[in-house]
Amino acid sequence: MRTWLRIHRLQQFVRHVIYGMLLVRFQFPRLNHAARLNKTQVWSQQLAQKLGFTIKVFGQATPLHPANHLLLANHISWFDIFAINSITVARFVARADVQTWPVIGMLCQGAGTVFIDRSKTRDTQRVNASISTALNNQECIAFFPEGTTSDGQAIRPFKASLIQSAFETNATIQPIYLRYTNAAGQYVSDAAYIDDMSIADSLWQITGAQHLCIELHFLAPLKPEGRDRRSLNKEVEAMIRAKHDSLQATGALQQPACAQGVDEAVTSTM
């Protein structure tokens, strides 16, 4: 049964990715900004459905593309980007090697992703300048301050280097806590993209999972006034870590069950 489920989902995934590549290559150049945002959101929602994900939103989600916003989230999977884009479309900052990933790299490039080589200090300066320009142009930018993925059982220390742009543009900081669960609200690692796992390995794991859900918890937004770069970074990290710890302590069975498909209802947990 699980083998057939995997085959079906993988076929759906391949077809949808091909459609996405054609969309980016031929339609995006002719679309205005608003139309591209809408296409990106719908494509991301459809990707979630084809892979068997349910998306649950908690807290006050931001609009489709909030102006001058920085979205900061913990990082578990390559799918995190598409989960966020299914609710709030943003341009992402990603590791330079993502450009070389089969298919995913091309889609990220087409969506305007900013790539960074964290081993080079000057590249961090370049990316901060690019982020500031985008925010001043009333765009929405997202990145993962942990700098790498985890299995979701703990929050890694946040890096403060890319948050500098918030001070230069007075951007609104929107912390988002991501969590993967099953239908009973129990933590699962099926979507975790860690260690030496390949995209193919990750897809095999995800497509074989049943009732896989990703929760997006939109926490209270912040402004940079009255803080410095490191204190703001620590405050965002503390907020996301506190949400993680509270859900761990509360117990899985108190989490809402997932319904099939993308659940667009916003449930407040604040």
Regarding pTM above 0.85, the answer is yes
Among candidate residues 158, 180, 246, 240, the one with its CA nearest the CA of residue 48 = 180
Within a 10 A sphere around the Cβ of 148, how many other Cβ atoms?
12
Write out the residue range of the structural domain in which residue 79 sits: 2-267
Residues 6+ apart with CB under 8 A from 111: 24, 40, 85, 91, 92
pLDDT at position 252 is: 52
Percent of the chain residues topping a pLDDT of 70: 92
Conformation bin of residue 85: beta by default, left when phi > 0, alpha when psi is -120 to 50: alpha
Token pair 């979701």 is found at 152
pLDDT tens digits, residue range 137-173?
Answer: 999 999 999 989 999 999 999 999 999 999 999 999 9
pLDDT at position 1 is: 66
- Please state, in angstroms and rounded to a whole number, the distance separating the CA atoms of residues 191 and 179: 10
Residue 253: is its pLDDT beyond 60?
no
Mean pLDDT of 45-64: 94
Q: Which of 67-76, 180-189, 219-228 has the lowest average pLDDT?
A: 180-189
Distance of CA 82 to the CA centre of its chain: 6
Residue 251's pLDDT band (cuts 50, 70, 90): low
Q: Which residues pair with 141 in a beta bridge?
A: 70, 91
Residue 256: is its pLDDT beyond 70?
no
Residue 248: is its pLDDT beyond 90?
no
Residue 43: is its pLDDT beyond 50?
yes
Q: Across the chain, what does the average pLDDT equal?
A: 88
Give the per-residue SS3 of 146-201.
CCCCCCCCCCCCCCCHHHHHHHHHCCEEEEEEEEEECCCCCECCCCCCCCCCCHHH
Instruction: Give the side-chain half-sphere CA count within 13 A for 232.
Output: 26
Q: Which of 124-133, 221-230, 260-269 has the lowest average pLDDT?
A: 260-269
Residue 254's pLDDT band (cuts 50, 70, 90): very low
Where b means 16+ CB within 10 Å and e means fewer, 83-108 reads bbbbbbbbbbbbeeebeebeebbbbb
Strands (DSSP E) found in the chain: 53-59, 69-73, 91-95, 114-116, 140-143, 172-181, 212-218, 262-267
Q: How many domains does the chain have?
A: 1
Residue 50: is its pLDDT beyond 90?
yes
- Please state, in angstroms and rounded to a whole number, the distance separating the CA atoms of residues 229 and 241: 18
Q: Is the dihedral of CA 142, 49, 39, 202 positive or negative?
A: positive
pLDDT at position 268 is: 34
Residue 27: is its pLDDT beyond 70?
yes
Residue 263's pLDDT band (cuts 50, 70, 90): very low
Among candidate residues 98, 93, 104, 100, the one with its CA nearest the CA of residue 51 = 104
Mean pLDDT of 261-270: 38
